[in-house]
Copies of this chain bind each other. A is one copy, B any other.
Amino acid sequence: LRDLALEAIQQAMNDARLGPNDIDILIVANALGVATTQQGHLGPLIADYAGLRGIESFTVESADASGGMALRQGMLAVASGAVRSVLVLGVEKMTDAIGAIRNSALSTTLDADYEAAMGATPAALAGLLMRRYMHEYGLELANFEGFSMNAHANASKNPLAMYRNTIKSGRFASAPMVSDPVNLFDSAPDGDGAAAVILTSTEDAADMVPKPVRIIGSAASTDTLAVSERDDMLFLQAVNTAAGRAYEQAGIDPSDIDVAELHDAFTVLTALQLEAAGFANRGEGWKLAAGGQLNPDGKLPISTFGGLKARGHALGATGVYQAAEVALQLQGRAGDNQIASASTGMTINLGGLGGSTVVHIFESGA
């Protein structure tokens, strides 16, 4: 875990040409360290290992929304004027846990008393959600293939992706079943990973990198952990609330977003995010994928480096990956994954089945 963290921290600090004395706070986003590696209290551990001994550091946890939430706290810390630069690190080490231990680790993100105690896992709940969505809108599994085909096609060009194979049309629906109707090509693989970004004031950022990226919208909201307790399980209320606030802060509409990294842990979640964030009407989020509008040359490119589905889902790190990837897109540094003329980007990071939601909107500094 500390090695993963170190690699991401060093790359971010080199990129911003910062030394150890230039960072005021290290925020660690991590979801399952205690459950998978028996290691909590990551702030001082990683700070010391990365040559930042003595720095202020702590962990933010919101299940797999930890990364986005840490980004938001870092932004608020800079905005307070009390600190200049914040290093936001997302890190997760899943592969130290296997089998039942890994499943029970993942289930700590659910309601322990009312969901996990009944044997529910995130995939099981996503299966129930997807079945309901298909029932309500008269869909079959193949209607969702566009999401995963796009993610894998993009990952095939990303050397840092977990899965670089592509998925051919027609193959999606016949993949091995995970939790009916969620299958292997439908659900994101959890895995090890780390990502880091550096936040500072607009003035200081101009000295660090040629083309800094500005956060112009930032909001978070929660919903019940237990999906069964929601008024309407097919509407992600927290996404709607947080996205609405972020649009308002940025003074833009969904149509102004050039590129987005959504939380594509399961295809039904992506469809529901598109609907709750105003990109599609209810019951029609899946059509954006089916019509190719989420592909790199579409109207709203998503999962541009492969997304959670194919770049890989390193739980607590995922929100920081999303921010780093959108920043690379807006800076024109996305290499083979570059989207043409992107100046406004968005990230939606979910915890569990939408119990936590963090939304950010970014603008190219050029």
Contact = CB atoms under 8 A, between A and B. Distances in A.
A34 B32 CA distance: 8
A73 interface: yes
A351 B57 CA distance: 11
B76 A62 contact: no
Contacts of A225: 41, 44-45, 48
A313 to B, nearest CB: 16
- In the complex, the count of this chain's copies comes to 2
B79 A356 contact: no
Contact of A59 (B37, B41, B45, B62): B62
Interface in A239-257: 241
A53 B222 contact: yes
B241 A54 contact: yes
Contacts of A60: 58-61
Interface in A297-348: none
A222 B112 contact: no
A197 interface: no
Contacts of A112: 37-39
Interface stretch (A103-111, A167-175, A176-184): A103-111
A203 interface: no
A136 interface: no
Interface in A56-96: 56-63, 65-66, 69, 73, 75-77, 79-83
B222 A57 contact: yes
Nearest to A66: B58
B34 A222 contact: no
A59 B30 CA distance: 11
Contacts of A222: 43-44, 47-48, 53-57
Interface of A: 31-32, 34-35, 37-41, 43-45, 47-48, 53-63, 65-66, 69, 73, 75-77, 79-83, 104, 107-113, 116, 218-225, 229, 237-238, 241, 351-352, 355-356
